[in-house]
Amino acid sequence: MIEKVIIDTDPGIDDAMALFFAFQSPEIEVLGLTTVFGNVDVQTSAKNALWLCELAKQQLPVTQGCARPWIGPMSSYAHFVHGDDGLGNTQNSPPNGQLDPRHSAQFIVDMVNAHPNEISLVAIGPLTNLALALQLDPMLASKVKQVILMGGAATCAGNITPAAEANIWNDAYAAQIVFAADWQVTMIGLDITDKLRFNQGFLDELKTANPLLGGYIDRAAQCYMDFYSQGQTQRECRFHDVTTLAYLVRPQWFQSQLGKLLVSTDSLTLGQTVFCPQGQGLSEPWTSGPYTNVALTVDDQALKQLYLEVYAL
């Protein structure tokens, strides 16, 4: 069965890896890209999404969404991780395409209502657009097939603070809204993605499999590897976001646990995802849903082989 998806994204080197995987996969139909602030400001995010579509020869609606968190000040951006342009300082020319005029949240609402119970929302940036879409259409959650998101850390430390993963930390209040909604949510967090390490050998194979798209990921990821390899003997990086698309098409490869997940909005632990497996809570709010499906382990070698196979199509 072909999965209809909207990808909510903040490109981002690992976002590029994820988008190309989705474009290449015969099991995925991408209905559009909705962009949000995160790795870069939202204007750059939208421009990068347009440019990546053009490189991959994809004619898709791309929208620009939320530019700042639900509550609080504007975010700073991870230029030290993804480069000044968000794509590894690859100095891409301006895209030729034009944005869909709708706000990202409105696009999500429109498409879900046009295809009720058919669309999976794959969120690989801060969750601000999804939170706003829930406010625009109070019945939205009942019409979405599922939400798969990259973010959080249920059983491990964070990567932006000791407590929090970057996507959730960037807008903890929006994440709180998304996890509290009554829809099917799967969280692919650092519990899995921080353990999936990709070295130059993998990038070489990816480039061989697809000289255009894999070759571009190889170029962009050099900046990414510089960041991840500081103080290490081996150059490597993490392609966090693509794991969401792997889950979409191969959920049986993942070992998950259902439970209550709450997001901290306290200043010291902002963005922490606190997870209690279903049946282990002793009092409210831990003893009732909605519950989140949290992915905890996966066969990493099978995933890497899947990425190479899909890029080679």
Question: Catalytic residue positions?
Answer: 10, 240
Question: Helix, strand, coil % (nearest 5) of the chain?
Answer: 40, 20, 40
Which tokens sit at 194?
Answer: 């921080």
Q: Give the list of residues 6+ apart from residue 110 with CB closer than 8 angstroms, or none.
A: 102
CA neighbor of 37 nearest in space, from 29, 50, 28, 47: 47
Helices (H), the chain: 13-24, 42-55, 79-82, 104-114, 128-136, 166-170, 172-180, 190-193, 200-209, 213-228, 242-249, 300-311
Asked if 265 and 216 count as a contact pair (C-beta separation under 8 A), the reply is no
What's the CA gap between 211 and 230, in Å, rounded? Answer: 28
What's the CA gap between 43 and 95, in Å, rounded? Answer: 12
Asked if 16 and 219 count as a contact pair (C-beta separation under 8 A), the reply is no
Asked if 267 and 275 count as a contact pair (C-beta separation under 8 A), the reply is no
